[in-house]
Amino acid sequence: MWSLFKVAFRNVGRNKRRSLITITTIFIGVVVICGVRGLLNGLQDEIRSGLARKIHGDVQLHKTGYRNSIDTSPYKIMFSYDAALQAKLRDYPMIKDVAPRLRLVGLLNHQRTQSTLPVMIQGFDSRHELVVCPRAADSVVQGRMLDSAQERQAVALAENDLAEATFLDAPGGEPSPSVKNTTGYHQALLSADLFKGLGAALGDEVVVLLNDKNNMQQALIATVTGVVDFALPTAEAKILWLDYHTLQNSLALHDEVSELALAITPDTSADAAVADLQAMLGKDLVAETYLELSGFLKDVMTIQNGIFNVIIIIVFAIVISAIVNTSLMTVMERIREIGTLMALGYRRRHILFLFLAESALIGVIGALTGLAVAGTVLGGLSMVGIDVTLPGQQVATVLYPRVPPGFLLFVMVLAIGSALAAAFVPAYRASLMRPVDALNKS
């Protein structure tokens, strides 16, 4: 058998050009597959990181029915983040931090332009939010991140005004005296779309109008301190962020939250955390991973993976057809040699083995060189990153391509397997030849 291996080695070197073409085909196939997978992994890592570290946190806790009611009945899905729940989550070792959030719908009035728009309002406490979503601060493309420690609750000056009034038509009754309303300092972050749509500038004053749970109108005066661009296709384009405690005070909420965003320890998977939390919390609250919360992007990634699988099939179909072609030519050229080997006592299985060994050798060389080049290039890129920031996008999007070792092994097996599969039919046909017929072929 070893002698057949040696023959196979020699045969690969005999027709260098043809072997080189076949090796190059496999090499290109391997590089393309690894390259595409590496870039796709980089893109999907960026999406995952964006979702988990900028927006959702690793895991979120909601009340049942959250998704159906968050936009229409935000108070219906609020739940109490009371001391008992806080203690329960604090005692859970896999949780790094918990960020309470409020989500509501309201109106935003931009004072300078007097534009009023319906907005999604999100309240967060920056002290916890930046632990759960550390990349959220990187998404502030203008101004600065909201700092909950800087919030100053308003003192209602107008409410303390008990000075006498005058009739509208009395001397000096018009115009109405200007009212110094409230003191206090509230920070507002606007999404980039909202900021642009309003024609706002940093430092502008905005009035947030929202109804409390008794459907009574409440108002908040805030200063625009930052602009947020997640550089991700999120469902809501018009989002306003305010401080969680400020919103709580304004809406007379006590410990209610719309959602709890959780950061879990790096050694815990989000799926495992969800399963554990769900078992601990029972049916009242639903634990979901960041991917479950972003159904659209999860679907996008599934489609991407499906397309990638099609690319693998197409690339290796081309590789196999090239190998089949060269193997057939090799067999045709070596019919007399096959006859000679058989006349010397080599059995059909030896002939089959010889051609398969040649093909496998070519597959190994092509796959190894392809993996070496792809691995080196991707390894380098994974350290420096590839900037794929779109024109007009204010946050740099950098992909870090990577291919896990398991995938490299899979590509190696696939390349060699494809070479063997492609060579099997020609090799089998060669093994079926009768020595006399083979020797008679010119």
Partner 1 sequence: MKNLGCLLLLMVSLQAQAESAEDIVKGVEKSLSPGDFIVTYELVNRRLDGTIVAYEVDFQIKDIDHAHGIFQKPEREKGREVLRVHDALWTYMPDVGRAIRIADRDSFAGGDFSNADIMRPDWTAHYKAQMAKETPKQWIIDMIAGDTEAAYAKMRLWVDRETHMPMQQHFFDSSGTLLKQCRYGAITRYDTLQRPARLHMENVLTGQATDMRILRLSAGQKFSDARFSVDNLGK
Which residues in this chain contact partner 1 in the complex, by CB under 8 A? Answer: 109, 111, 114, 116, 154-156, 158-159, 162, 164-170, 173-174, 176, 179, 181-182, 207, 209, 212, 214-221, 249-250, 252
Strands 115-124, 239-243: pairing kind: parallel
Closest to 184 measured CA to CA, from 115, 243, 272, 268: 243
Closest to 397 measured CA to CA, from 4, 100, 81, 50: 50
Compute the distance between CA of residue 243 and CA of residue 321 in angstroms, rounded to an integer. 62
Q: Which lies closer to partner 1 via its Cβ, residue 216 or residue 235?
A: 216
Beta strand ranges found along 229-323 (DSSP E): 239-243, 256-257, 259-264, 285-289
Q: Which lies closer to partner 1 via its Cβ, residue 113 or residue 269?
A: 113
Measured from the CB of residue 162, what is the shortest distance to partner 1 in angstroms? 5
Closest to 34 measured CA to CA, from 366, 335, 284: 366
SS3 286: strand
What is the crossing angle of helices 295-333 and 335-343, to 10°? 70
Q: Which lies closer to partner 1 via its Cβ, residue 252 or residue 307?
A: 252
Measured from the CB of residue 236, what is the shortest distance to partner 1 in angstroms? 24
Q: Which lies closer to partner 1 via its Cβ, residue 112 or residue 135?
A: 112
Closest to 244 measured CA to CA, from 71, 86, 102: 102
Measured from the CB of residue 98, what is the shortest distance to partner 1 in angstroms? 26
Q: Which lies closer to partner 1 via its Cβ, residue 89 or residue 190?
A: 190
Measured from the CB of residue 113, what is the shortest distance to partner 1 in angstroms? 9
Burial class (CB in 10 A: 0-12, 13-18, 19+), 41: buried
Measured from the CB of residue 153, what is the shortest distance to partner 1 in angstroms? 8
Q: Which lies closer to partner 1 via its Cβ, residue 94 or residue 117?
A: 117
Measured from the CB of residue 206, what is the shortest distance to partner 1 in angstroms? 10
Is the bond preceding residue 405 a cis peptide, omega within 30 degrees?
Answer: no
